[in-house]
Amino acid sequence: MSGVGAAIAALRRGGLAVLPTDTVYGLVAYGLSKAAATELYAAKGRESRQPTALLLASLDLLPLALPGLPTSALRAAQALLPGPFTLVLPNPDRRFPWLTGERPEALGVRVPVLRGPAQAVLAELELLVATSANLPGGADPRVVEDVPAEIRKVAGAVVDGGPLPGTPSTVVDLTGAGPVILREGAVPVAEVLERLAGLTDR
């Protein structure tokens, strides 16, 4: 297994790494590198038209990553993040086009609650692109041994964070007039709607 230094070095040179997140093990690349994202898609067997989430080290980076983000979307993100969510947010400047798939006007964003080595890696690089470290249709990896050998082989570093919850993030689309739950995952739909409903009282 690899340590923090090896993971940071692999990502900085444009390679891939397997990191534990707050949900499942993820395959990650440096978020500002289109070439690294292309390598990630190839390793995952993912089609380029599929969107992939951007991981941010902190919520403070959100307005920098998505300039022009509407206030309503920012407030909704602040009500849910950090945590086990993937938020589909408006992308007015159409940034990170290599991650948006067929919706350049939107971008998936995560601000996970990480600990230990994974937190250190994300804090150092600030922006990572991430997808679950499995093959299409495969089970979400809860322990590092669940990560397919094909993915571990192409990763420049594999960080073992022990057993993880194993349930993927809840995906919420915040690009429209109201929230749309695209996938119920680690956080139940009722809790999501309750937290967002409270925005009208602020």
Question: What is the structure's pLDDT at 170?
Answer: 98
- Positive/negative CA dihedral, 82, 87, 90, 96: positive
What's the CATH number where 139 sits? Answer: 3.90.870.10
For 63, the domain range is 4-201
Question: What is the structure's pLDDT at 47?
Answer: 86
Per residue in 119-144, pLDDT (tens digit) is 999 999 999 999 999 998 899 999 99
SS (H, E, C) the chain: CCCHHHHHHHHHCCCCEEEECCCCEEEEEECCCHHHHHHHHHHHCCCCCCCCEEEECCHHHHHHHCCCCCHHHHHHHHHHCCCCEEEEEECCCCCCCCCCCCCCCEEEEECCCCCHHHHHHHHHHCEEEEEECCCCCCCCCCCHHHCCHHHHHHCCEECCCCCCCCCCCEEEECCCCCCEEEECCCCCHHHHHHHHHHHHHC
- Give the model's confidence band at 13: pLDDT under 50 very low, under 70 low, under 90 confident, else very high: very high
CA proximity to 131, closest of 28, 55, 32: 28
| Averaged pLDDT, 160-188 | 96
- Give the model's confidence band at 198: pLDDT under 50 very low, under 70 low, under 90 confident, else very high: confident
Percent residues over pLDDT 90 in the chain: 92
In whole numbers, what is the pLDDT of the chain averaged over residues?
94
Higher model confidence: residue 198 or residue 36? 36
The tokens for 111 are 């601000």
The total number of structural domains in the chain stands at 1
